[in-house]
Amino acid sequence: MTKKVSVKDKKKPRSVAKSTKSKIDASALAEFVLKPSANAAAIVSEYATPLGEQNFGELTQALANSITEVRGGDMGRCEGMLMAQAQALQSIFMNFSRRALCQESQKNLESFFRMAMKAQNQCRMTLETLATIKNPPVVFAKQANIAHGYQQVNNSIAPLAHAEKLTIQSNELLEQQHEQRLDTRATGTATGFDSAMATLGKVDRTAHG
């Protein structure tokens, strides 16, 4: 007997496929939103309107390429960015400095000069960062202990040996000055002092009760 397929049964596979597709789209969108290049593109596209309308996809790809360059060790774009920022901050410093001269109020004068000094300080910090990238500081490793398994480093052995060496040298110097052997382990010689404390003779316990 042939089973009849209802209309509801025919629509069920389509709903499952649609749900699976929506899940894939949501997952892909989540991955895209978390990309650093996409995050930067969302901000750059808003601030770059004076330069023209931006294509979000192309902008994201360009930012992704710059990230790949830095990961590969090419810092040229970063150096150029820092130099451009320093120049822009210098322009901001000049702008606020000139505007401060036109102020008649002491409060406004101080406010503009304060902003000018902030821009100047930020420019200095940017140039210092650029100098650090161009000439990174040299770091000298004082001690490197490399092992694949368990390793224990005891740095107190060397100072202890050095202290023992100094003690031996000091004893030898005293021996030369006093012509005596400074050996604390040697057996001492019996002296004649306290002769009254001589060794007692054998006691016959039976005879003396």
In a domain, 167, yes or no: no
Whole-number average pLDDT of the chain: 77
Nearest Cα to Cα of residue 129 among 93, 96, 89, 97: 89
In a domain, 115, yes or no: yes
Please count the structural domains in the chain.
Answer: 2
**Are 63 and 48 in contact, with CB atoms under 8 Å apart?**
no
Owning domain of residue 124: 75-136
The contacts of residue 61 (CB under 8 Å, 6+ apart) are 37
> In angstroms, rounded to a whole number, what is the distance separating the alpha carbons of residues 154 and 152?
7
> In angstroms, rounded to a whole number, what is the distance separating the alpha carbons of residues 151 and 149?
6
Residue type, 20: T
In a domain, 105, yes or no: yes
From the CB of residue 174, how many other CB atoms can be counted at a distance below 10 Å? Answer: 11
97 and 128 share a domain? yes
Summarize pLDDT for 117-155 with one digit per residue, the tens: 999 999 999 999 999 999 988 877 665 556 556 666 555
pTM over 0.75, yes/no: no
For residue 172, name the pLDDT band (cuts at 50, 70, 90): low
81 and 65 share a domain? no
The contacts of residue 181 (CB under 8 Å, 6+ apart) are 175
- The DSSP letter of residue 189 is P
The burial class, CB within 10 Å (0-12 / 13-18 / 19+), for 119 is buried
In a domain, 179, yes or no: no
